[in-house]
Structure 1
Amino acid sequence: MKAGYYVGNFEYEVRDIPDRDPKSDEVKIRVAWCGLCGTDIHKFQGKNGASVVIPPIILGHECSGIVTAVGPKCKYFKVGDRVACDPSWGCGKCIWCQRGLPNFCLERHGVAKGFSEYVYPPEKNVYHIADSLDLESAAFTEPLSCAIHGLDLLNIKSGKTIAMYGMGAIGSLMLQLIRFTGAAKIIVIERDKAKRELALDLGATVAVTDQEIEEIAKEENIDYVVECIGLKATMEQAIQIAGKNAKVLLFGLGDPEEPISFNQFEAYTKELSIFTSYLNPLCSDRAVRLLESGLIDTKKIVSARLTLEEMGKELKTLEYAKKGKVLVSVSGEH
């Protein structure tokens, strides 16, 4: 089968690797679609994603597909099932798994390398999807589940003002979740005009630039700030514009070589709470249910549908990733 590898030194290759039968409780899935994540881009650029990266490594983890075989101990799936994957495996036994935080599992690793024709996750990482949900949209299960976990941390109260940075793929999902919190006002901060228009289309009250938000923050208290870009400048500004007793979520994956700084005394006098969000513990089922409901619009987020071979150029240029979600069409089934 074909698989797309990051091989190190800013290089990507599509390789032929052996296919195999599923073992134990594994579910063999013919991948239909896989999203390009910001962590994939970080890996390609020689940085770590959610874990330490040692190339060569198959990229991708946001995948959906069709079950083609099951292992002898698999109970809940059969050939022909339409499914989505949670790529992050937890042992279920260590202290962090026992606390309901498998994202911190002492043995955590990825089990669905989606830039390949087949993946073999254990059935506890596989989710049935309704026939009404197309496989392309189902590939948003993993990023949506991460966004759900991030917002869970904030425990947002209704009737508040929320500011959100960035209308990339994850920001476009996050905005749609924020819409359901009962916010009185949703302010999106985005430099790109077309993306500001998308923000209004997807439910923002107003969409402004990073210069304009500073003026707004002088006039009204911003209760929650969600940063979905991961740049040093936007993370620092997110903390700066937060109002009194505000909560700030630094969701965007920052560069480990560019730590941020902020005025601790100012944060103290405003009594800020600053959160970060790591992976998607036990949120995949909720993501699938939301996608099945039709409440989340994924079609307006997709900027390109590429082949495994075309991903090499995209990883170097980010031509489409800068505009929205890039999807890899592996089998292209719907």
Structure 2
Amino acid sequence: MRAGYYVGNFEYEVKQIPERNPVDDEVKIKVAWCGLCGTDIHKFQGKNGASKVIPPIILGHECSGIVEAVGPDCKYFKVGDRVACDPSWGCGKCIWCQQGLPNFCLERHGVAKGFSEYVYPPEKNVYHISKSLDLETAAFTEPLSCAIHGMDIINIQSGSTVCIYGIGAIGSLMIQLVKLAGASKIIVVEKESEKRKLALDLGASLAIDDQQVLDICKKENIDYVIECIGLNVTMEQAIHIAGKRAKVLLFGLGDPDSTIRFNQFEAYTKELSIYTSYLNPLTSQRAINLLESGLINTKKIISARLSLEEMGNELKTLKYSKKGKVMVCLSGDH
């Protein structure tokens, strides 16, 4: 089978690797679609993703597909089932898993390397999807589940004013989740004019640049700020523009070798709460429920549908990633 590898030194290769039968409770899934995540780009650029990266590694983890075979111990899936994956495996036994926090599992690792024609996750990482949900949309299960976890952490109250930095794939999902949470005003900070139009289309009340938001925060209290870019300048400004008693969620993945600066006295006098969000503990089914409901629009977020081979150039140029979500077409099934 074909698989797309980051091989180190800013290089990507599609290799032929052996296909195999599933063992134990594994589910062999013929991958239909896989999203390109910001962490894949970080890995390609020589940085870590959610954990340390040692190439060569197969990229991708936001995948969906159709079950082709199951291991002898698999109970809940059969050939032909349409499924989505949670790529993050937890042992279920360590002190963190025992607290319902598998994202901190002492043995956590990825079990669905989606830039490949087949993946073999254990069945506890596999989720049924309805026939009404197309497989391309189902591939948004993992990023949406991560966004849901971030929303759980800050617990947005209805009637609040929320500011979101960045309208990439995650920011576009966050707008929709924030609207569903009942925010009365959603301000989006985005430098690209086309993305500002998308933000308004997805439900933002206002889409502005990073200079305009400085004027707004002087006039009104911003209750929540969600930073979805991961740059030092936007993370620092997100903390600065937050209002009194505001909650700030630094969701965007920053450079692991960089630090941000903020005025502690300013944060102190505003009683700010600053949060981060790590992975997607036990939120995959809720993500699928939302996708199946039709309340989340993913089609407007997609900027390109590319083959495994085309991903090499995309990882180097980010031509389409700068515009939205890039989807990798494996089987292309719907």
TM-score range, shorter-chain basis? over 0.9
Which digits, 9 at most, give the CA deviation of each residue in 1:53-92, with x for residues without a partner?
A: 0000000000000000000000000000000000000000
Which digits, 9 at most, give the CA deviation of each residue in 1:91-116, with x for residues without a partner?
A: 00000000010000000000000000
Q: Identity over the aligned pairs, expressed in percent?
A: 79
Q: TM-score, normalised by structure 2?
A: 1.00
Structure 2 gap ranges (5+): none
* Mapping 1:147-296, distance limit 5 Å: 147-296=147-296
Equivalent position amino acid for 1:204 in 2: A
Computed over aligned residues only, the root mean square deviation of the Cα atoms, in angstroms, reads 0.4
- 1:42 aligns to 2:42 (yes or no): yes
Structure 2 CA distance, aligned partners of 1:34 and 1:224?
Answer: 31
- 1:303 aligns to 2:303 (yes or no): yes
* Mapping 1:85-164, distance limit 5 Å: 85-164=85-164
Structure 2 CA distance, aligned partners of 1:251 and 1:82?
Answer: 30
The 3-state SS of whatever aligns with 1:95 is coil
Structure 1 CA distance, aligned partners of 2:155 and 2:117?
Answer: 39
Which digits, 9 at most, give the CA deviation of each residue in 1:126-173, with x for residues without a partner?
A: 000000000000000000000000010001111110000001111001
Equivalent position amino acid for 1:46 in 2: G
Structure 2 CA distance, aligned partners of 1:131 and 1:95?
Answer: 37
Equivalent position amino acid for 1:109 in 2: H
1:258 CA drift (Å): 2.1
Q: TM-score, normalised by structure 1?
A: 1.00
Structure 2 CA distance, aligned partners of 1:125 and 1:196?
Answer: 36
Aligned to 1:324: 324
The 3-state SS of whatever aligns with 2:195 is helix
Count of aligned pairs between the two proteins = 334
Structure 2 CA distance, aligned partners of 1:250 and 1:310?
Answer: 31
1:281 CA drift (Å): 0.2
Aligned to 2:55: 55
Equivalent position amino acid for 1:302 in 2: I
Which digits, 9 at most, give the CA deviation of each residue in 1:232-256, with x for residues without a partner?
A: 0000000000000000000000012
Equivalent position amino acid for 1:152 in 2: D
Structure 1 CA distance, aligned partners of 2:193 and 2:38?
Answer: 22
Aligned to 2:32: 32
1:302 CA drift (Å): 0.3
The 3-state SS of whatever aligns with 1:237 is helix
Equivalent position amino acid for 2:332 in 1: G
Equivalent position amino acid for 1:288 in 2: I
The 3-state SS of whatever aligns with 2:96 is helix
Moved segments of 4+, more than 4 Å: none
